[in-house]
Structure 1
Amino acid sequence: MTNPLILTRDAILLDELQRLAAAAGVMPEVTGDPVDALRSWAGASVVIVGVDLADEVAAIEPPRRVGVHLVGWGRLPDEVFRTALALGAENAAELPRSESWVLEVLADSSERFDSTGVTIGVIGGSGGAGATTFACALAQTAARDWATCLLDIDPLGPGVDQVLGMERDEGIRWDALQQTTGRLGARALRDALPRRGRLGVLTFGCGGADVPETLQPFAARAAVAAATRGHQLVVLDLPRSGGGLTEELMARCQALVVVTRANLPGLSSAARFVARASQSGPLSLVIRGSGLDAAEAHRIVGAPVVAAMPDQRGLDEAIDLGQGPVKSRRGVLSRAARSVLEVLGPDAAGGRGPRPHPSSSRSTPPSIAGSAA
């Protein structure tokens, strides 16, 4: 991870930015020369451009990148916002008014990865398909290699913390994020979530009067944005019930995994869902149980099959014991999850989205044989 880059000749602004950087625990590179800044522009964890240099920086047309912010001392003139657009800046902020926001940006930069995280949505194509269980298995498996965050988007689902055996783990739940608005820092979210190793989980909790019956859109947007800044992979457990928020979050995903039973009713239901959701982004199928094979599933549903798996023996017992759905690398769910990650995960995506599915040239993936837990 590289350091933040600060460009300004304004002594007052620089003093304040260096104070905030120290509070955030980061050591920025500072320059008052826009041309000199080009050496570090692309590699800096975040770029903060002082309003005093904004026009000069825009004039040399640095390459577009994420994480560029304009900051000034006092009220910003209206023309600054045109310059911000020319630079591709994400925000323009006033100090000292936006001090806490700038502090969060600098703090996030110390844990920001080279690119924003890949977001994979998991949703049931048919009832009883086990989409939540597969979302948990996908997150468990991914966390062996990457910083992973699993977000439970379904208030009426079984609860990903219950499936993973994390219902008693300390950390915030959705109710804590539905009380306030504003920017949610990536580090703040990472530190507050219930965690098992590299896996963080955001869910609704175990029931009771304090558990929200619905998920507020502003809270979901803030959590997904913070999770993607602070993790290499984000998995969303999405509800089948649909609605505006679900459709919005589906559109934010780089890939959608539709889990369905491998029988005709399940595949027919999945086909109707895929027809409705085809505009949201790339769709892949995971088929579960005995019945029709992957080639037939592809034909019926119209989406490529990334994994075909039998039911896993001992799954209910493992979940009841708090072990989660993945007990070993050899288990059915673990192998299916790895198949998905090979095609859609951070290494395949390069932080930019899924690579072309192999089913574009071959509709039948290798079946995941066996049913050992």
Structure 2
Amino acid sequence: MTEVLLALTGTALSDDVARCGAAAGYRSVQADPLRCRPQWLRAGAVVVDGAALEQLVASRLPAREGVLVVGARESDADTWRRGLAVGAQGGFVLPAEEARLVAALSSLRRPHRAAAPVLCVVGGHGGVGTSTFAAVLAETASRQAPGVLLLDVEPGGAGLDLLLGMEATSGLRWNDITGETGSIAGPALAAALPRIGDRLRVVTRSRDDGAPLSPETVLAVLDAARTNGETVIADLGRAVDPAAQGVLDSADLVVVLTAASVPGVAATRKLLTRLALGGEPVRSELGLVVRGPAPGGLTAEQVADAVGVRLVTTLRTRRALARRCEEGGVRPPAHSPEVRSARVVLELLDPRRGVIG
């Protein structure tokens, strides 16, 4: 199968890099260095130039194998040091060293584990049950995926540990983790977080901790989990801060929840605009989940048309689930309506990554 070569280079070198990639059996893809987190982790190899390296280091992407630096002349020491910071394994002057670059790219073509997917849950407005549905998604995914990490990125929520009935469970919370170095070991992180069973781990705030989350820490945790093979499900609520935006940039699938009401539609359209998810081509898969009942008779299809996002599935409000949250945490039965809706969402993730087949 053809590997993907992520080319983070200017126009002066793009043709040379594409030609070398094709000669080594890659399909070249160009991307913005500031918005390339998903491709960065999944590409078979990455070729960067000096300008892109500055942006990559500022973005604090995790070091990875298969990064090669190119330039139109001999790179200076600062460029090479920036390359080392993102895990670069060699430098090449083009077009003079095209043969060496082809050889290096060819040597990188070996089997490797793809990064696990990231699913974001966004609330179109308050009170729609974003955190509850995120918890249901995580519980459902953990029944089949080898590992699931549930991220609580909602700044104003009560805390996913409270919703899951695990507020007394020991383990690290957000204020215990620092990601300023840009890299966290996945297995060590998994062992230190609160968990439910063997497959589901949760990272949330400590009780009464209302401090803003560090984007660097959130993204370091996300990267550590997905490179460790854990599916990441992030509850963003209605957050529009840098931490939430960074998670959105990394997402394979963004699910927006809204109620089947005129106010719900209006609020959701505004939120999508603030998150830069509406009105322009979306970087990630984007889907809508509509919660009923509809007080004014709006259908889910009408809501999706008004919001401008494709409909994935529907949910209906059930008092039984709310009662379960109060009595010991969200533990929906396998055949409940919530789990059926969660499965529809999870099936949109690539089944080849072992989430839901």
Q: Which deviates more from structure 2 when the two are superposed, residues 119-128 or residues 264-273?
A: 264-273
**Residue type matched to 1:225 in 2?**
D
Pair 120,163 (structure 1): closer, same or farther in 2 beyond 3 Å: same
Q: Given the alignment of the two structures, is residue 314 of structure 1 paired with residue 320 of structure 2, yes or no?
A: yes
In the alignment, the residues of structure 2 paired with residue 322 and residue 352 of structure 1 have an alpha-carbon distance, to the nearest angstrom, of 29
Match of 1:304 among 310, 317, 337: 310
In the alignment, the residues of structure 2 paired with residue 80 and residue 62 of structure 1 have an alpha-carbon distance, to the nearest angstrom, of 31
Which residue in the other structure is 1:152 paired with?
152
**Partner deviation per Cα, 1:117-163 (whole Å, 9 max, x = no partner):** 11011010011111111111111100001111101012321211111
Structure 2 unpaired stretches of 5+: 4-20, 27-42, 46-63, 68-74, 90-110
Q: CA deviation at 1:78?
A: 6.3
In the alignment, the residues of structure 1 paired with residue 66 and residue 323 of structure 2 have an alpha-carbon distance, to the nearest angstrom, of 50
Pair 159,280 (structure 1): closer, same or farther in 2 beyond 3 Å: farther
**Partner deviation per Cα, 1:257-300 (whole Å, 9 max, x = no partner):** 00111111112211222344234532211111211222111211
Contact 2:119–2:234 (CA under 8 A) maintained in structure 1 = yes
Which residue in the other structure is 1:285 paired with?
288
Contact 2:219–2:246 (CA under 8 A) maintained in structure 1 = no
Which residue in the other structure is 2:207 paired with?
206
Q: In the comparison of the two structures, how many residue pairs are matched?
A: 264
Pair 234,117 (structure 1): closer, same or farther in 2 beyond 3 Å: same
In the alignment, the residues of structure 2 paired with residue 201 and residue 180 of structure 1 have an alpha-carbon distance, to the nearest angstrom, of 20
Pair 229,179 (structure 1): closer, same or farther in 2 beyond 3 Å: closer
**Residue type matched to 1:204 in 2?**
R
Write out aligned runs for 1:1-80 (5 A).
Answer: 65=44, 67-68=64-65
* 1:204 aligned counterpart, secondary structure: coil
In the alignment, the residues of structure 2 paired with residue 298 and residue 142 of structure 1 have an alpha-carbon distance, to the nearest angstrom, of 25
Which residue in the other structure is 2:216 paired with?
218
Question: TM-score when scaled to structure 2?
Answer: 0.66
**Residue type matched to 1:68 in 2?**
E
Contact 1:175–1:212 (CA under 8 A) maintained in structure 2 = no
* 2:181 aligned counterpart, secondary structure: coil
* 1:140 aligned counterpart, secondary structure: helix
Which residue in the other structure is 2:192 paired with?
192
Which residue in the other structure is 2:101 paired with?
none
Which residue in the other structure is 2:300 paired with?
294
Structure 1 unpaired stretches of 5+: 1-41, 43-57, 71-76, 94-111, 355-373
Write out aligned runs for 1:1-373 (5 A).
Answer: 65=44, 67-68=64-65, 90-92=86-88, 114-146=113-145, 147-178=147-178, 181-196=181-196, 197-207=198-208, 211-275=209-273, 276-278=276-278, 279-291=282-294, 292-324=298-330, 326-343=331-348, 345-347=349-351, 350-351=352-353
* 1:123 aligned counterpart, secondary structure: strand
In the alignment, the residues of structure 1 paired with residue 355 and residue 325 of structure 2 have an alpha-carbon distance, to the nearest angstrom, of 31
Pair 331,81 (structure 1): closer, same or farther in 2 beyond 3 Å: same
Pair 256,80 (structure 1): closer, same or farther in 2 beyond 3 Å: same
Contact 1:254–1:353 (CA under 8 A) maintained in structure 2 = no
Q: CA deviation at 1:177?
A: 0.8
In the alignment, the residues of structure 1 paired with residue 269 and residue 313 of structure 2 have an alpha-carbon distance, to the nearest angstrom, of 17
Which residue in the other structure is 1:54 paired with?
none
Pair 134,62 (structure 1): closer, same or farther in 2 beyond 3 Å: same
* 1:256 aligned counterpart, secondary structure: strand
Greater Rg by CA: 1
Contact 1:123–1:131 (CA under 8 A) maintained in structure 2 = yes
In the alignment, the residues of structure 2 paired with residue 317 and residue 353 of structure 1 have an alpha-carbon distance, to the nearest angstrom, of 29
Q: CA deviation at 1:308?
A: 0.7
Q: What RMSD in Å do the two structures reach over aligned CA positions?
A: 3.4
Contact 2:180–2:216 (CA under 8 A) maintained in structure 1 = no
**Partner deviation per Cα, 1:299-339 (whole Å, 9 max, x = no partner):** 11111111112112312220112231x42112121111011
Contact 1:285–1:307 (CA under 8 A) maintained in structure 2 = yes
Contact 1:136–1:150 (CA under 8 A) maintained in structure 2 = yes
In the alignment, the residues of structure 1 paired with residue 285 and residue 292 of structure 2 have an alpha-carbon distance, to the nearest angstrom, of 24
Q: CA deviation at 1:245?
A: 2.7
Pair 204,328 (structure 1): closer, same or farther in 2 beyond 3 Å: same
* 2:335 aligned counterpart, secondary structure: coil
Which residue in the other structure is 2:98 paired with?
none
**Residue type matched to 1:214 in 2?**
P
Which residue in the other structure is 2:58 paired with?
none
